[in-house]
Homo-oligomer: A and B are copies of this chain.
Amino acid sequence: MEDHTAKSPTAAVLLIGDEILSGRTKDKNLGYIADFLTARGIDLCEARVVADVQGDIVAALNALRARYTYVFTTGGIGPTHDDITADAVAAAFGVKIDHDPQAVKLLTDYFAEIGREPTQARMRMARLPDGAEMIENPVSVAPGIHMGNVYAMAGVPKIMQAMLEAVAPQLQQGAPVLSRTIEAHFGEGDLGGPLGELQVRHGGVSIGSYPFETATGFGANIVVRSRDRKALEAAVDEVERLLATLAAQPASRPWI
Chain A residues near B (Cβ < 8 Å): 1-2, 4, 13, 18-27, 30-32, 34-38, 43-53, 56, 78-82, 110-111, 114, 116-117, 119-122, 124-125, 140-142, 156, 177, 179, 187-193, 195-196, 199-200, 206-211, 220, 223, 225, 252-256
| B residues near A117, Cβ cutoff 8 Å | 189-190
Tell whether, in the assembled complex, residue A48 and residue B51 are in contact, meaning their CB atoms are under 8 Å apart: no
Cα distance, A32 to B26, chains bound together (Å): 9
Cα distance, A25 to B187, chains bound together (Å): 19
> How far in angstroms is the closest Cβ of chain B from A199?
5
Name A80's contact: one of B2, B35, B196 (CB within 8 Å).
B196
Tell whether, in the assembled complex, residue B22 and residue A38 are in contact, meaning their CB atoms are under 8 Å apart: yes
Tell whether, in the assembled complex, residue B119 and residue A25 are in contact, meaning their CB atoms are under 8 Å apart: no
Tell whether, in the assembled complex, residue B35 and residue A255 are in contact, meaning their CB atoms are under 8 Å apart: no
| B residues near A31, Cβ cutoff 8 Å | 20, 23, 26-27
Tell whether, in the assembled complex, residue A195 and residue B22 are in contact, meaning their CB atoms are under 8 Å apart: no
Q: What is the copy number of this chain in the assembly?
A: 2
Name A114's contact: one of B30, B46, B253 (CB within 8 Å).
B253
| B residues near A206, Cβ cutoff 8 Å | 18
Tell whether, in the assembled complex, residue A116 and residue B256 are in contact, meaning their CB atoms are under 8 Å apart: yes
Tell whether, in the assembled complex, residue B24 and residue A223 are in contact, meaning their CB atoms are under 8 Å apart: yes
Tell whether, in the assembled complex, residue A119 and residue B190 are in contact, meaning their CB atoms are under 8 Å apart: yes
Tell whether, in the assembled complex, residue B210 and residue A25 are in contact, meaning their CB atoms are under 8 Å apart: yes
> How far in angstroms is the closest Cβ of chain B from A113?
11
> Nearest CB to that of A122 among chain B residues?
B189
> Nearest CB to that of A250 among chain B residues?
B115
| B residues near A82, Cβ cutoff 8 Å | 1, 199, 207-209
| B residues near A256, Cβ cutoff 8 Å | 79, 110-111, 114, 116, 122, 125, 140-142
Cα distance, A114 to B81, chains bound together (Å): 58
| B residues near A196, Cβ cutoff 8 Å | 80-81, 121
Tell whether, in the assembled complex, residue A124 and residue B255 are in contact, meaning their CB atoms are under 8 Å apart: no
Name A19's contact: one of B18, B32, B110, B223 (CB within 8 Å).
B223
The 8 closest A-B pairs by CB, nearest first: A121-B192, A81-B196, A23-B34, A122-B189, A23-B35, A47-B49, A79-B192, A26-B31
